[in-house]
Amino acid sequence: MKNQSVSTPQNSIEKTLEREALEYHSKGKPGKIEVVSSKPCSTEKDLSLAYSPGVAAPCKMIAKDPSKVYDYTSKGNLVAVISNGTAVLGLGNIGPLASKPVMEGKGILFKQFAGIDVFDIEIKSDSSAQFIQAVKALEPTFGGINLEDIKAPECFEIEETLKREMKIPVFHDDQHGTAIVSGAALLNACQIINKKLEDIRVVVNGAGASAVACSNIFISLGVRRENLIMCDSQGVIYKGRTEGMNKYKESFAVETDRRSLHQALDGADVIVGLSVAGALTGEMLKKMAKDPIIFAMANPDPEIDPVTARAARPDAIIATGRSDYPNQVNNVLGFPSIFRGALDTRSTQINEAMKLAAVKSLAKLAREDVPEKVSATYGGKSFKFGREYLIPKPFDNRVLLWVAPAVAKAAIDSGVATKTITDWDAYRDTLEAFQGPSKVFIRTAIHKVHQNTAANKGELPKIVFPEGSSTKILKALRTLVEERICQPILLGYPDRVKEKIKHLDLQTLEDVPIIQPSLHPKFHTYAQELYKRRQRKGVSLREAERLMTDPNYFASMMVMMDDADGMVTGSSQNYPDAVRPILQVIGMHTDGVPAGVNFVLTEDRVYLLSDTTVNINPTAEQLAQIALQASRITEYFGEKPKIAMLSYSNFTSSEGTPAKMRRAAELVRDKNPNIVAEGDIQADAAVSASIIERIFPFSHLKDGANILIFPNLESANISYKILQQLGKVEVIGPFLMGVKHSANVLQRTTTVEGIIHSVVLTSLEAQYMKDYRRKRKQVGLNN
């Protein structure tokens, strides 16, 4: 009878993954990367600038001054990922051609996590000398070299030679990426179990590229060389051993009578596995010291299954190279940000100081609170520094903002940088720009808040939060307080709010004032004022007192009475319930129209869309006022408002919606002749300068509109939500316009990051509105 293969759940999962991976790589355009032009090239003039004859100008400049290559080409942001395919992770020596999917994947990670462009290069040579010569010849093209999947010991010679003979950074990620991330994990693991690096005994199982690099960085961090035992497939590397040795192993040979991995583990504090699956057993781990640190990093299967390791040693701290277990040692935490820092300082190499800076910044970041956005990326799982969270998660976008500056500073301090960074705040802003347009937009708003605060002698806008015990609000406030965006005031029961702050470990909020509305000294004054305002609307004094116990009414009255500069609410309520107190208490500007506005952010433009939340079918007069309100927001950012009244037609004499939008545009121009307002106009023409130039040259929207006013709520709301899901854009908002003071209502689905964005813009608006009221008061006008 023939043997039949037995299908297991694990085999089924692996086959499914393999099928999905093949489809992923082959669907549509084969492969994973492409070259995209960073400059327009759609006209004859563009072509003459991109190539002959215009391209001669930068060529001559670079020939005269080679440093100009960084000004006129992509060299400064271009890395080569180079391999000969002799040691592809988990696959072995499969050759350069078969390694290409891995190298393309590496390129995606560079781009995704640090905005670095990559060409993957696969070299058909097993000769170290030939490989070195090929890479050296590429130096004029690239700003850095990432060596990948080259077998040991050749990889050591190749990297050492290239670092010595090239004047751009050369980095073998299989060695140093693993070392840097595992070094950060080791630092934090030792802190958690209260052990000093100089006292721990470390066993490293494996003697290849990553094992040697890990051992070196552990020693640089403080592990004593005599306390580190390295093992290979033949056992302990000891002084006097001759079989299977090379100069790299020899540097880790120690005086010991231990000869096997099993013996080496007796009393050890740390085991670092960089070898093969099954190399460790539960019995071996039982011989280790109290609170053992187990880094089983063989891929795709670790030296010991974490479940088995935990059963043998419940007191262990465990890390692997896999994403389906806690503490994944993933190189993507290192190489993108390290190269970012090296490229931005035009460093001649990535030295030990830069690697150690990366280690320490990763370790420090892991001790910080983890943003909600990171948790959402991982299915809502919460993370907190401890035994199962030693290092940041790969999709934590703070990694770039922490590691790249640390690496860049180390490059400058150690003398390998040829370009100096002096304004570190500005540098962090450029790093945020790699993470999407919303980061740039909000950072711009934050800078304006800070500028206005400085002009107001350091006085921060006071923003009141009716939902004082909301977890999302409190987490957002931590960042807002640290960034000095506002002076928050929380409403709620003080004991409950303080308990929540303590539970969430938000020490920065300990001094934030907490108000219980019914016990506030101005409670009755506020109730009297509400009664005065609403007595002819069916509100009695007793009803006014009842309403004033509602945090939204109380917060609205605080703002109206100038006891606060603005408010943000709605994270746990329906929009109508949250907005009603604002409209009833704070009220509208003279001629003001309540309306929602959303910011739509592309890579190089900011658009305001309105009305997205309030008016079902606004009149031409209302649309004109909504447009004027939106125009004031663009002026907060120093932009000239350009308004498009959108319709299904372009500059017609049609009745219905086109007529309404034409009338709205006319009213805007009548009220403020300095504002460009066009309508009726279709959406594509409104945002396309080329369509305007070709078809409607008479229009004043020469560069396209930045304020898009929709004819009704349906079209506006549908448009921004479709853009949010399908467009390559980011959407922020909605925000409330038309009220006398700064007050905004959140969406119930908003995230902590969304709350931060809302409060930043509320604070900015509050500053401008307060200044506006002060100036009107100076000339004897009412607010």
d(CA 51, CA 253): 58
Q: How many CB atoms lie within 10 A of CB 487?
A: 18
DSSP 57-122: HHHHHHHH-GGGHHHHSSGGGEEEEEE-SSSBTTTBS-HHHHHHHHHHHHHHHHHHHH--EEEEEE
Structure tokens at 442: 């909000």
d(CA 419, CA 39): 25
Burial class (CB in 10 A: 0-12, 13-18, 19+), 226: exposed
636 catalytic per annotation? no
Q: How many CB atoms lie within 10 A of CB 706?
A: 24
Number of helical (H) and strand (E) elements in the chain, helices listed first: 31, 21
Catalytic residue among 15, 24, 45, 51: 51
Buried b / exposed e across 717-727, counting CB within 10 Å, b at 16+? bebbeebeeee
List beta partners, residue 319: 295
Torsion on CA atoms 655, 656, 662, 667, rounded to nearest 10: 120
Contact 337, 313 (CB under 8 A): no
Contact 351, 413 (CB under 8 A): no
238 catalytic per annotation? no
Task: Give kind and range of the element (H or E) at residue 271.
Answer: strand 270-273
Contact 151, 172 (CB under 8 A): no
Number of Cα atoms under 13 Å in the Cβ half of residue 47: 3
d(CA 104, CA 123): 14
d(CA 265, CA 272): 11
Buried b / exposed e across 282-302, counting CB within 10 Å, b at 16+? eebbeebbebbbbbbbbeeeb
Burial class (CB in 10 A: 0-12, 13-18, 19+), 494: middle
d(CA 225, CA 251): 10
Taking the CA atoms of 693, 695, 701 and 703 in sequence, report the sign of the dihedral they define: negative
Q: How many CB atoms lie within 10 A of CB 591?
A: 13
d(CA 313, CA 279): 16
DSSP 184-235: HHHHHHHHHHT--TTT--EEEE--SHHHHHHHHHHHHHT--GGGEEEEETTE
- The residues near 82 (Cβ < 8 Å, ≥ 6 apart) are 103, 120, 121, 122, 123, 135, 138, 145, 146, 147, 148
Q: Give catalytic residue positions.
A: 51, 106
